[in-house]
Amino acid sequence: MKRPVLVTGGAGSVGRRVADWLLREGYTVRIFDLPGMNYAGLEGREGLEIMRGDLTKAESVEQAVKNVSAAIHLAALLPPASERRREVTFTVNVDGTARLAEALRRISPGVALVFSSSVSTYGDTTGVKPPVTVDSPQQALDIYADSKITAEKNLREIYPDTVILRISGISVPSIQSPPDVWPFMADQRIEFVHRDDVVTALCTAAQIEAARGRVFNIAGGVTWRTTGSGYVKDYYDLLGVPLEEARFLKHPGWCDWYDTDDSQFIMRYQKTSYQAYLAQLRVEAERIMQA
Amino acid sequence: MIPRGVQNADAIIEACKKIRLDLGEKAKPEWKAILENTIATIEDMKGKFFIKTNFAIPVTNALLKNATELQTLIASGDTSRFAGAFDRLQESLQNLINRGKMEGVSLT
C-alpha cells in the first residue's frame, strides 16, 4: 500500500484539483479538512482517504501526518474571512502551520512539505522595477499577508526543507460575478495565474528534490502580464459590459509582475497562456448564452 | 449607453405595473402576488452586475415576451388563458433569478 500524500484544505476548490492531479498520477491521497466542509464527490473514491480534523488541534494534526509520503499545505483562512479577527487568522494560518510542520518533523521526518504562501506578502511594489523576485522585501498590507509572512518565518526554523510557493492571484475559467472593487488600481501591473497551473506547481513541487528548502513565485508568466484595466476589460468585453462599470482601488494593491524563471524551470507548470484562458472563458460564455 | 438587459428590466416593470392596473378587480390574489414578486425581483436585479451583461439579454427577453403576452390577453379579454400565461411569467422569472446568481468570485 502506497503512503498517501497529505493535502490539507483538500476539500476546497484548489485542494480538490490537487487531489485529482495526484490520483491521476497514481498517488494515494489523504485529504485533511474541517468537518463542516462539503465532501460531496470525494467520498468513496479509490485511493482517496478523507480525514476530518482541525489544524488548531494537535491530536488531529498528528493523526493526519502519520505515514504520509509528502504534504501539501493549503488549509488557511483567506480574505475576506482572514481580515475579520487577527487572532483567529493567526491561530489557523500561523499556529496551525507550525503545528503541522512540528508534527511532520516528529512523526514523518524527511517528507516533502509544500506550503502555499502568497505574493501578497510583498505588499505594495508599484515603486519597484519589475519583476518582483523572491528576494524582494516582504511587507504586509493586510492580516492575511502578515500571517503568511510569519508562517514562512516559522517554517524556515521548524522545517527548513519546506518548499514555499508564493502564489499570485488565481484565475478560474468560469464566469462569475466580479468583486465590488477590483483589488488593484486600473494602471497597476498584474500577473495572475491559471488555477490548473497552480495545481501543477503545487503537486510538482512535492515531487522534485531540487525544490526542497526553496522559495518560489508562482504566476502565469509573460503572457499573463497586463494592467488592472487590461485584465478587467478583457473580462468585461466577454460579458458585454463597458469598462466604465468597473471600480478599482484608489491606492496600490499587492499585485505586480513576478520573476518566475526558477519556478517555471523546475516545475514546468505554466501550461495555460492568458490567451488560452480567455478562450476557455469564451467557451463558457457561449455555453451560458445557449443554455 | 444603457445595457439591453437594463432596458428590458425597465420594460418588464412597466408592463407588470400596467397589467396590475388593467386587471383591476379581475386580478386573482395569486396573480397579484406573481406581479408584485416580479416587480420587486426585477427592481432588485437592476442593481446587480448580471443585468448589465449579455447573459441577461435572452432571459429578460423571455420575461418581457411573457409580460407582453399577458397584456395582449388582457386586451382581448381572453381570461381562460391567463393562468397559463402567469405560470410562464413565473417560470421565466425563476430562470432569471437562477442565472443572475453568478455565485462566487473569480479571484483568490
Q: For A165-181, write each residue's pLDDT tens digit.
A: 999 999 999 888 888 89
User: According to the model, what pLDDT value does residue B102 have?
Assistant: 67
Q: CA–CA separation, A14 vs A202, rounded Å?
A: 10
Give the Cβ contact number of residue A21 at 10 Å: 18
**pLDDT average, residue stretch B8-25:** 94
Q: Is the dihedral of CA A118, A198, A87, A152 positive or negative?
A: negative
Q: CA–CA separation, B10 vs B18, rounded Å?
A: 12
User: According to the model, what pLDDT value does residue A177 have?
Assistant: 84
Q: pLDDT band for position B106 (50/70/90)?
A: very low
**Domain limits at B83?**
4-99
Answer whether residue B104 is part of any domain. Answer: no
**pLDDT average, residue stretch B25-31:** 87
Q: Is pLDDT of B105 > 60?
A: no
Answer whether residue B16 is part of any domain. Answer: yes
Contacts of A242 in chain B (CB under 8 A): 1
Q: Where are the domains of chain A?
A: 5-171+193-219+257-271
Answer whether residue B44 is part of any domain. Answer: yes
Contacts of A174 in chain B (CB under 8 A): 104, 106
How much is the mean pLDDT over chain B?
88
Answer whether residue B106 is part of any domain. Answer: no
- Interface check A78 vs B, CB under 8 A: yes
Query: Phi, psi (5° rounding) for residue B63?
Result: -65, -40
By CA distance, what is A194's nearest residue in B?
A: B107
CB of A101 closer than 8 Å to CB of A154: yes
Q: pLDDT band for position A153 (50/70/90)?
A: very high
User: According to the model, what pLDDT value does residue A1 have?
Assistant: 59
Please state the separation of Cα A87 from the chain's center in Å.
22
- Global confidence as pTM: 0.89
Q: Is the dihedral of CA A125, A130, A136, A142 positive or negative?
A: positive
Distance from CA of B72 to the nearest CA of A (A): 28
Answer whether residue B54 is part of any domain. Answer: yes
- Cell of residue A71, nine digits: 504534504
Q: For A35-68, write each residue's pLDDT tens digit.
A: 999 999 999 999 999 999 999 999 999 999 999 9
Is the CB of B108 less than 8 angstroms away from the CB of A78?
yes
Look at the block and give the residue holding cell 392596473.
B21
Indicate the number of domains in chain B. Answer: 1
B-facing residues of A in 183-202 (CB < 8 A) are 183, 192
- The class of domain A5-171+193-219+257-271 in CATH terms is alpha beta
**pLDDT average, residue stretch A274-291:** 90
- Cell of residue A244, nine digits: 466604465
Most A CBs within 10 A among B102, B103, B107, hence the mutation to make, goes to B107
Residue ranges of the alpha helices (H) in A108-254? 143-158, 195-207, 228-239
- Which residues make beta-bridge pairs with A227? A189
Angstrom CA distances, A203 to A39, A71, A165, A253, stand at 21, 10, 11, 28
Query: Phi, psi (5° rounding) for residue A2?
Result: -75, 145
Q: Is pLDDT of B53 > 60?
A: yes
Q: Concatenated DSSP letters for A226-286?
A: EEHHHHHHHHHHHHT--GGG--B-SS--S---B--HHHHHHH----S-HHHHHHHHHHHHH
User: According to the model, what pLDDT value does residue B107 have?
Assistant: 36
> In this structure, are strands A193-194 and A5-8 parallel, antiparallel, or unpaired?
unpaired
Distance from CA of B105 to the nearest CA of A (A): 6
A-facing residues of B in 61-80 (CB < 8 A) are none
**pLDDT average, residue stretch A219-237:** 97
Is the CB of A179 less than 8 angstroms away from the CB of B107?
yes
